[in-house]
Structure 1
Amino acid sequence: MLRNLSSLSNVVVTVTELNRTVRELLEGSLPVLWVSGEISGFKRYGSGHCYFSLKDANAQVRCVMFRNRAALIDFEPREGMHVELRAVVSLYEARGDFQLTVEAMRPAGLGALFEAFEKLKAKLQAEGLFAAERKRALPTFPRAIGIVTSPRAAALRDVLTTLGRRMPGLPVILYPCPVQGAAAAGEIVAAIQRASSRAEVDTLIVCRGGGSIEDLWSFNEEAVARAIAACSMPVISGVGHETDFTIADFVADLRAPTPTAAAELASPDRNQWLNQLQQQRRHLERSFERLLQMRMQRLDSLARRLRHPGEALERQRERLFTLAQRLSAAPTRLIERRQGQLAQAKLRLAHARIDHGYWQNQLSHRQQRLQRALDRTLEQRQARLHNLASRLAALNPTAVLARGYALVEKTDGAVIQQAAQLHAGDRIRVRFADDAVEAAVTSKPAQQQDLF
């Protein structure tokens, strides 16, 4: 490398040294520049490097863009395309060719579009059109879905295919409009307003396929953003590819990365809901089966504890019979005991010197007391027997029926205790004091009313 340029006149240099010095002078003295022009002779080699010329009306310059930089371009450069290059001014030493080493490429005018994009974005954000609190939730089961796009757009076919796969039979209404060109923004606004005023759908999809920033620019227009914000139903924006962002994406209630994704967000998945419904049905069946088993076990337990009224009556009848036997035998035993005492007293009297008159009076008095005691005991036992007989009669179902009540049973003899046990159409037997009749339940009685 030549370090002292002032001494070049006294030094003989090689071509290699000359070219290297010129390259270093160019790269060291000029900053990285943005250069605009028209692509000419563009070639992309198998290595991934790109070679072309950039020209205008009066001049041209050779350009090279290496593979790592070329992979970052989001569009396909074409012959005659006007572009803007961010490049380093350099010299290819091997041939001494003046060239630009390109670091970035964009379509001409893209800088102005980005500036307009950021300016409108900041304005609408300041007005609150991007605020999360104004975003509306999508209906889980929409009755119809609207689509704002071009009838010839590939995005429409993708959306319709996805909707048909996820929820066949879901009504779809197309609000046709161009999605590219100078007049597209106004047509898009009119289509959104038409969908909003008709209110035929629950969810509106605004979509189109991918493209350059110029192709998508209609969705960066302020009028389109305000139409989306004023729409009466939730709006899903599905514009371009996943890496594309437009003003419509920020204003919409939900942004989808692609039109297909917008259709998936707008429609329920029929198969998923059917599977979930099937799972819920199986869960409900298992829960009902467990509940039924618990109720059956409880019913069995109650049935073991439940005893027929006739059993209680039989036990009372046996107890009453025992008491009656004991009551009837009590005076006899008492008389026998008193007679034994009297016999003993007579024996003692026979062996003793007694005043017959005095003891005769005592004996007569004792006999009178004994007779009165026997009479009282007999009256008490008879009164108790009468009381027990009355209680037994009160427990007798036949006696209850004789007072005007009736006993309601099922045809198998099971006693009906509550109206809730009956259902319309059940056959029942109504038992009265003198006879029983068959009857049918014609309606389910109210819970607060009696059966009869």
Structure 2
Amino acid sequence: MARLETSAEAPVPVRVVAIKLSEYIGRLGEIWIDGQVAQLTRRPGQATQFLTLRDPDANISLSVTCGRGVLPDTVAEGSRIVVKARPDYWLERGSLSMRAVEMRQVGLGELLARLEQLKKLLAAEGLFAASHKRPLPFLPRTIGLITGRASAAERDVVENARRRMPGARFRLENVATQGASAVNEIVDALQRLDRDREVDVIVIARGGGSVEDLLPFSNETLVRAVHAAFTPVVSAIGHEQDRPLLDLVADLAASTPTDAAKRIVPDLAQEQDEIAELRRRARACVHRRIEREQELMANLPGRLRTTLRGRLDRQRDEAGVARDRLRARVRTMVDAGAADLEHVRARIRALSPQATLERGYAVVRRPDGSLVRTPDEGRGPLRIRVAGGEFAATGDGAVAGGTVGSPA
């Protein structure tokens, strides 16, 4: 397509631009489109029907016109369809719509197959991993609740939670839980509650329904939004047999909204009963301990006397044995000392001058005490010591018959 050469001085008319747009858009040709019916207006008796086809994972939609016989009677708002259409640009109004030439409603089997494929894709990315699950708070300050306005699911959650924990606080977000706008409303409500610092846990609740009714809770956009949330999320969708993808990504999947109420708050009466039981057990344990201590204290004097008497007897016996051993040791040492002393005495006596005297020898001294060793020294008064004692004598120093001097 040739580019239009324009300027402020040489603009092109609107009709030229509109024609060029129509030609450019027309080049797309016929294509198959997958989407969800967001708005449908059936006009009985008219050849042309109008509907809005919305992308299930994004807030984007297209207008679709259907000729006679193209729109099946089973298609309604919220239906998932595939449409063979070509773009149609209306020159007069400057609007774009898709003109359907063939339309098929997606069957349940095909929907389930698509959900299974999406489930495998998200699981491969790790969105359902147990490591990403966060524990719920024991006693949440505020509970965020996303559900339909005045729905049975809302009553089940609120009433059962307050029956267990009177005064439980809720922050309600009423949204569409099925239909074309459900995903966007649920995601917006989730993000608002996730930003609220008072909200400690978020519950997404809805009653049961068909697979088509619960499709918003298996939507990829919603699943990723729950995975990205900082606040723990509880899924309470439908009945126990319902299993949307939201159950797999949520931090806790409750079987029903009533079950969710039981899981997010403790039972106050049960907790009080458990506290009372713990108090009773603690009191009984203390009483048993006190009784044992009292019994021990009552028997303590007798046990002390017995213990002390036994200990004193053992120590007395031990002291007696030690005393006897000490006496025997001292006696042995004394006897050994006496024997040694007697031996020393015998040696001293053998070496003593007295022994020599007892054999008949005498010691002669001069008055000054000096010993007389030669005859010349034996003159004058002398002192003579013999074995029996000492006596005086006078010597003249003469040698006669081998003796010196005479008795005084």
Q: Report the TM-score, using the length of structure 1 for normalisation.
A: 0.43
State the structure with bigger RCO (CA 8 A, min sep 6), 1 or 2. Answer: 2
Say which structure is richer in helix.
Answer: 1
Say which structure is richer in strand.
Answer: 2
Q: Report the TM-score, using the length of structure 2 for normalisation.
A: 0.48
Which structure is larger by alpha-carbon Rg, 1 or 2?
Answer: 2
